[in-house]
Amino acid sequence: MAKTTLPGSLAAIQDDFLALDQGERLQLLLEFSQSLPELSERYRDHPDLLERVVECQSPVYLFVDVEDGVVRINVTAPKESPTTRGFASILHEGLDGLTVDEVLGVPADYPLDLGLTEAVSPLRIRGMMGMLGRIQRQVREKSGA
């Protein structure tokens, strides 16, 4: 089991959130939701390759690629579910391009440490923990780690 350390990308996102007051944190989450990249053509054309995140109330699908030890995150969520999109976007920005060990080293409770439990509610944040858990499981499966 890899030891848990927070990669710089996720630590930076966490710092950004914690520097803001509650209302501004929600605004930043909204900005994340707007910057989630479109799926690449490969996954747009093959939705069957994507895994459903059942912990989320909205339909969220993700697929992880591991190429030469580097993790690539593909994730999609509907526009009517901006909170879920925001969570997906944070994980995309924070994890895409990291090494297998770095991704596996992210603490499972990272979503609880973004300072969003008050503005968003713990119930909703559970969906993000589900996403992170599934990403890490896929990385383990695909890297043999």
Partner 1 sequence: MTVERDQDPALQGFAHPERLVTTGWLAEHLGTPGLVVVESDEDVLLYETGHIPGAVKIDWHTDLNDPVARDYIDGAAFAKLVGSKGIGRDTTVVIYGDKNNWWAAYALWVFTLFGHEDVRLLDGGRTKWEAEGRAYTTEAPASTAVDYPVVERDDAPIRAYKEDVLAALGSAKLVDVRSAPEYVGDRTTAPDYPEEGALRAGHIPTAASVPWGRAVAEDGTFKKTEELSAIYLDEVGLRPGDSIIAYCRIGERSSHTWFALTHLLGLEGVRNYDGSWTEWGSAVRVPIVRGDQPGEVPAR
Binding site for partner 1 (CB under 8 A): 26-27, 29-30, 33, 54-59, 79-84, 86, 118-121, 123-124, 126-127, 130
Determine the residue type at 17: F
Closer to partner 1 by CB, 45 or 108: give it.
108
**93: its two tokens:** 């920005």
Residue 5 CB, nearest distance to partner 1 (Å)? 28
Closer to partner 1 by CB, 42 or 52: give it.
52
Residue 19 CB, nearest distance to partner 1 (Å)? 19
Closer to partner 1 by CB, 83 or 136: give it.
83
Q: Is 31 in contact with 13 (CB distance < 8 Å)?
A: no
Residue 67 CB, nearest distance to partner 1 (Å)? 31
3-state secondary structure of 65: strand
8: β partners = none
Closer to partner 1 by CB, 38 or 67: give it.
38
For 84-95, b/e burial (b = at least 16 CB within 10 A) is bbbbbbbbbbbb
Q: Is 145 in contact with 67 (CB distance < 8 Å)?
A: no
Residue 94 CB, nearest distance to partner 1 (Å)? 19
**126: its two tokens:** 């559970």
